A = this chain, B = another copy of it.
């Protein structure tokens, strides 16, 4: 090793030792007679000192010439500092340097390598290798590494076997868009990159592996959002001879283990809520249950009183913003504008102020008297000083809008404390959802999810009413993971493909291998998958998953650091037997 110690380990009891450190120059302070250099590596920062009378003159000159981010190797004696720095672990000592070598120089970095940088995201991504030198980014990658270790520690202890499934598989139109890979050896044919190892992990169950997991990259050619990447990492798990409850227990334990080991937090027993209840009370299948503010439906109370907006609405529903009766006209206008935003699309916002004196002030006074408003307030369990916020319209759209308003108010009232953890299992999802566009049913989870046995007879008569053995784990309003008990019967699987609009031929061509496998002794099985990038962000109490990925891509799927994707040579295209379709302007 070029060094005897790292920049993070020297303490007062090393004083007198001759050491050699290597690292990057965080900063250099030239006070004329004395030059200090803060030397940084992954493990910490140690101060180097060069001073007249102690350090050889030529060395002091050399120290004066050091620039930021130079890579240097310094040898010297560990000495006690005159002015100690309690803010850094190595703050009691410094190195009185007797030998100094420049291992590499550095240009001025395009942004400051500090906890708080002046670099914008694009610049940081272009020079990601410099961004990673910053403590906040490095710590996120270290957290990710620790998460991986702990996930594996837990699953290994539960007899799960990590099995690597292939990356070059077959394209299956169902679900999101695939990335495809042209095959040179099999001209005119393509591999696809997996959106998840779903079918392979089911085949491993058929193969008797009993308990499988994998921390694995998955790929989706979707148009991207802030928290979406074309390649992302999944903790993928499957178990045999289990029922839904076994999976909920196993992975609730895993999540508790992670919070305990990594954050020292003991989570309470996870809440459970059905999909229907979640939609009715919170307008979302990912409810943030760090706070209440459940929806209250008012159709009975408000309809047939001549107020068209309510009378014509499929649903009239509201929330109680406790203690907000004092909101000004202006503040209420801001909320009204909020719900009218194009992403939310509510037509308007009705409010009722529960005044301290027991009277009520509402934006619909002319239609509803004090008694009526009093009745609403009682239904909300509202106290004097509270503010009722009410939306009306088409059910799903109105619930969605009120869900956004609930989260907004929750944030304004500081009810979404990142130090508070509210984990909930959302259960009993519908098996199918109707797609207006294609006018057919889509699998809400995926085509391999089993219907609840008691609902199977409804598959033909009322497909939309069939509930699935599917479940999501939601933490603080974010979906951490989801899964289902799978179909393991060939006939039922064939019927599912049928309902999803596959012809027998299509089903056979795409999933014949799985349905055949079901004919050779497929065990009952089910599983779950966690979005690992997101789980890391949740664990750190952050929103953006990008900084938890070493080399993320931007919203147009580009890696701006290596400038990928890029053109390839005609020779490569010819070998693959494909050619570009010439597009206008390209």
Q: Which residues of A contact B (CB under 8 A)?
A: 1-3, 22, 24, 40-43, 69-71, 73, 103-107, 109, 127-133, 138, 141-142, 144-145, 148-149, 152, 156, 161-171, 173, 177-193, 199-200, 203-204, 206-211, 217, 219, 221, 223, 230-231, 233, 240-243, 246, 488-489, 513, 517-524, 549-551, 553, 556-559, 561-569, 572, 574-581, 583, 586
Contacts and interface: CB of A to CB of B under 8 A. Distances in A.
Contacts of A549: 164
Nearest first, the 3 closest Cβ-Cβ pairs linking A and B are: A132-B207, A106-B521, A170-B564
A242 B480 CA distance: 40
B488 A42 contact: no
Given A104-B521, A164-B233, A203-B561, 5 more contacts: A107-B519, A109-B520, A141-B209, A170-B565, A191-B565
B575 A177 contact: yes
A217 B233 CA distance: 13
A550 B104 contact: no
A104 B488 contact: yes
B207 A128 contact: yes
Contacts of A489: 104
A142 B182 CA distance: 33
B129 A520 contact: yes
A200 B104 contact: no
A367 to B, nearest CB: 50
A559 B188 contact: no
Contact of A568 (B186, B190, B561, B577): B190
Contact of A106 (B69, B128, B520): B520
30 contacts: A2-B243, A3-B241, A24-B523, A41-B208, A73-B241, A103-B523, A103-B524, A104-B488, A105-B521, A129-B206, A130-B207, A132-B207, A133-B207, A141-B163, A164-B549, A165-B551, A166-B231, A166-B551, A167-B231, A168-B179, A168-B553, A168-B565, A169-B562, A177-B575, A179-B181, A180-B182, A185-B557, A186-B565, A191-B565, A199-B562
Contact of A520 (B69, B520, B566): B69
A577 B187 CA distance: 18
Contact of A138 (B129, B209, B217): B209
B166 A177 contact: no
A558 B217 contact: no
B183 A133 contact: no
Contacts of A168: 179, 219, 230-231, 553, 557, 559, 564-565
A502 to B, nearest CB: 14
Contacts of A246: 1
Contacts of A523: 22, 24, 71, 103-104
A513 B557 contact: no
Nearest to A206: B129
A544 to B, nearest CB: 17
Given A71-B522, A209-B138, A580-B578, A513 B563 contact: yes
A418 to B, nearest CB: 25
A103 B192 CA distance: 33
B579 A581 contact: yes
Contacts of A186: 556-558, 565
A307 to B, nearest CB: 48
A141 to B, nearest CB: 6
A124 to B, nearest CB: 12
Contacts of A107: 519-520
A407 B217 CA distance: 41
Nearest to A585: B187
Contacts of A569: 173
A187 B586 CA distance: 8
Contacts of A41: 208, 210
B189 A567 contact: yes
A216 to B, nearest CB: 9
Contacts of A141: 161, 163, 209
A242 to B, nearest CB: 6
Contact of A242 (B1, B513, B558): B1
A71 B523 CA distance: 6
A208 B553 contact: no
